[in-house]
């Protein structure tokens, strides 16, 4: 159970094409967003859909595979861990960023 302390699994659709970056060190990072939607009925009978957007990053060899395999609109299953970080922007403001660092993915074909 130790591996389940920080575990995220999402099924959703890519909101943009994958952005692949290569750093001076040779490491590669793929970044994209995934939308997940939840549908429910309110007490008054009105049907409602709520969409959440999740930032996802993938590192190393898997970044190349993701870049070659996925594009905007694709439905995908993502597994990984949730990370939080903060940084200072050029104006000195502290910004907070949350993302899923994916360790596995699977493209889901729609029929």
Mean pLDDT of the chain: 93
Work out the percent of the chain whose per-residue pLDDT is above 70: 95
CB 54 within 8 A of CB 12: yes
Higher pLDDT, 99 or 110: 99
What's the pLDDT tens digit per position in 69-95? 999 999 999 999 999 999 999 999 999
Residues 6+ apart with CB under 8 A from 50: 37, 38, 40
State whether the Cα torsion 77-62-34-81 is positive or negative: positive
- Domains in the chain, please, with CATH? 2-108 (2.40.50.140)
């Amino acid at each position: 159970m130790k591996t389940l302390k920080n575990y995220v699994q999402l099924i959703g659709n890519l909101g943009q094409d994958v952005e692949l970056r290569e750093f001076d060190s040779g490491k590669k990072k793929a970044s994209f967003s995934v939308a997940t939607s939840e549908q429910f009925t309110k007490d008054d009978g009105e049907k409602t859909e709520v969409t959440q957007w999740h930032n996802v990053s993938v590192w190393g060899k898997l970044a190349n595979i993701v870049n070659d395999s996925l594009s905007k609109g694709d439905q995908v299953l993502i597994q990984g861990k949730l990370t939080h970080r903060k940084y200072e922007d050029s104006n000195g403001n502290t910004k907070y960023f949350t993302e899923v660092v994916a360790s596995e993915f699977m493209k889901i074909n729609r029929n």
